[in-house]
Each structure stands twice: as C-alpha cells, then as structure tokens.
Amino acid sequence: MEKYMPRIVDNVLKNKLEYMGAVLIEGCKWCGKSTTARQFAKSYIEFQDPDKKMQYDKTNQTKPSLFLEGDKPRLFDEWQMYPVVWDSIRMDVDHTGLKGQYILTGSARPIEDSVMHTGTGRITKLLMRPMSLYESGESNGSVSLNDIINGKDISGVSPLDFDRLINAMIRGGWPESLNIEGENKYKISKEYIQSLLNEGIKTVDGIERSSSKMSAVLKSIARNISTNTSKSTILEDVKSNFINEVSRPTLDDYLNTLEKLYILEYIPATNLNLRSKTPLRVSPKLELVDPSLAIAALNLKREDLIKDLNFTGFIFENMCMRDLKIYIEAIDARLSYYRDKNDFEVDCILETADGKWGAIEVKLGAGEIPTAVENLTKFKEKVDTKKYGEPSFLMVLTGADYSYKRDDGIYVVSIGNLKN
C-alpha cells in the first residue's frame, strides 16, 4: 500500500468532525478526497462500485437508511450517485445528535431537486483541491503564510529552479502523478481532460453535451487563464470554431457544468472600500482548479512554456492561486482581486475572518519584483484605511530563489518556500 501523504485539509476535517454530525468533502476527481476521507473513516461504501450497483439500487428504492449501518465515522464515496443518502444522514444526525458520524465525498454537485433538505446545522462542507507544492513536497515550507499575515520576519531559499517550476505546472497537483516515474507523470492531466470530455460532461446530470464544443470552451478558458475575460469574449472565441452553433445559453451551460465538476473557479472582484473614485471592473477572474489542465487543454509542451514566458506567467499565477486557496482553508480567509477601469490591477487580496487584509502580486521572475512592489504601494494608497485599517501585509509571490522581508516591510516570497 502506498504511504499516505498528509494534506492540509486533514486538520480541518478532523476539527469539523468534532463539532458536526457529518462532513461533505467536495472537489474535482482525482484530487485525493477518498484517500483522505479513508484516513478518518471506520467503514465505507463506494457507490461507484459496479459489482454492487444492483444491491445499491434496491436499497435506494426500498430502505435507504440501511446505507447508514456500519462503524462510525462511515464514508459514502461519490454520494451524489444516490442523493437520497443525504436526507437519511440529515435525519439520523438530527435524531441522535452525535458528532463525527458520517463523511461524504463528491466530485460533482447533484442534480437540483434531488436533495430535499439543505443539511444546514447537520452537514458541513469542505472543499478539497489537488495538492499544493508544499503537500507534494516541492515547497520546503520554510515560510508560513500565517506568519506573514501576522507580520513576522521570514527567510528562505527555494529548492525550485525554473525547470522544476515548469515541471510542477505541467504535472499538476494530482496525487497519483507522484507515484509515476519518468515522463508518464506528466500525462495525468491529459488523461483527466479526456475523461472529462468522454464521460464527465455527460454523467454530471445525464444531459448529452458535445465533447468538441466543451474542448473549445476549455481551450478558450486556458488561453484566458488568470484574467477577468468576459463570457462574451469566450463566446466569440468558441464561435470561431463553431460558427453560429454556440449560443450564450449553451456557453453558460458548459461553464456551469465545469463549475459543477469543480474544475472551473472564479476569483471575485474585491469589495474593499477605496478612496479612489475610479470605477472598478467587477467581472470575476477565471481560474482552473489546477494549472496542468490549462496546459493539457492547449496541448502545450515544455518548450512552448519556455518560449512564451508572458503566457507562462499566467499559468504560474493559476498555480499560485491554487496553493493560496489550499493554504487559506486552515486560516478561514477569502481571496479576491482588484482591477479598475484604467486597468490598474492587483492580483490577489486576502481577507481573514478577524478583519485582517493584505495584497499579493504574483510574478514569475525576479526581474518583475520592483514593478510588483510599486503596484502594491500604489494600491495601499487607494484603500480606505480609516475603515479597513492598514494592511497586515503586502507580498510579492514569485518563482524566484529567495524569500525575505524588505526594509519597507513588503514581503518577497518564493512559491518554493510557502506553506499555510
């Protein structure tokens, strides 16, 4: 048996099981939900097991409460295949009042109206993503995001040179890829795309969709990764391949499908109050759950990324956003971004539940650090600090070699040093 590699959500899941009756772990396929859940479960059901489908179908139709019998915590893997289990769990938790009884995992949101009750107060949710660089062992974790938020001094030397950064983007954070030797480890993301186009878009809700059109949508998202490109732009891009065959409602359906499968994510525009009266852009920024999917969708090779460092910078930003989203799971924070009508932009605004905030600029190379520092300083002046207070931190997150705190207090952090 392969050794379990600890995940940042482990402690979050452990904590939720201590005060809630059930926990739902959501996230895309292949990100490690089932493996993580099994570290805590004492019994489990794999609803995708074809050998037991007839048995599960009969139980589902006659007495779904039988699904609950077994040692606790009991795991229901891919629960959305039998949505009735949600209400059975909700009722059981409601009646017994016991904590830490059930864990559910799901890689797609169930069809609307298939679940009768929300589960509020009984079932809590947890979103899991592919591995961060710290979880995969590529970041040495010498710099803590929590320390930065609290203003502590930092220092670190990244183990990741440019080639290793490129490799990490291509391979992605898929746990299975870490068990594969040689070039084959870089093929997981391509297999994921093929699985999505051949099966995922059809099984999510039973609706037939065109794999070629979905491929065109994915490619357009990949070309516009880490930008606030509008749906209209994506539609025109897709239409260039399918003249008059793709309408706005069709595009919305395809984008919603990618959201339901936890593949497409959005970073919202910030709602921080600003001194500046310059109108803001409010459309969200497009991100894929893992940078390797953008590379695979466009069928890019290592040399393509090396030749086009401008585009690779956007892929790098996608990887940084993935890692930041994973790290903030443990500190109860949210991410947004800032961009005004004059196209002045700050890549990421981090706000914690206790009112702290900071701004982050993402830059692939060390040569871009001065520009990033200038942007952060300018943004700080735009924020209404009388209402929100001074920033807890300003940070340049980079692919460069070193992490340190500058004399002006701005952090320069290598992604190869960062952890939660």
DSSP codes of every residue in 5-68: PP-THHHHHHHHHHH-SEEEEE--TTSSHHHHHHTT-SEEEETT-GGGHHHHHHHHHH-GGGGG
176 Cβ contact partners less than 8 Å away, ≥ 6 residues apart: 30, 188
Residue ranges of the chain that CATH labels 3.40.50.300: 9-127
**Rounded-to-integer distance, Cα 147 and Cα 392, Å:** 11
Provide the pLDDT for residue 273. Answer: 65
Tally of CB atoms within 10 A around 199 = 12
**Rounded-to-integer distance, Cα 361 and Cα 394, Å:** 8
| pTM, 2 dp | 0.94
Sign of CA dihedral 106, 107, 108, 109: positive
**Rounded-to-integer distance, Cα 124 and Cα 20, Å:** 7
One digit per residue, the tens of pLDDT, for the chain of length 420 reads 578 999 999 999 999 999 999 999 999 999 999 999 999 999 999 999 999 999 999 999 999 999 999 999 999 999 999 999 999 999 999 999 999 999 999 988 776 555 555 666 789 999 999 999 999 999 999 999 999 999 999 999 999 999 999 999 999 999 999 999 899 999 999 999 999 998 888 777 778 899 999 999 999 999 999 999 999 999 999 988 776 688 999 999 999 999 999 999 999 999 876 666 665 667 899 999 999 999 999 999 999 999 999 999 999 999 999 999 999 988 889 999 999 888 889 999 999 999 999 999 999 999 999 999 999 999 999 888 888 899 999 999 999 999 999 999 999 999 999 999
Give the number of residues written for the chain: 420
Provide the pLDDT for residue 188. Answer: 96
> What Rg do the C-alpha atoms of the chain give, in angstroms?
22
CATH architecture of 9-127: 3-Layer(aba) Sandwich (3.40)
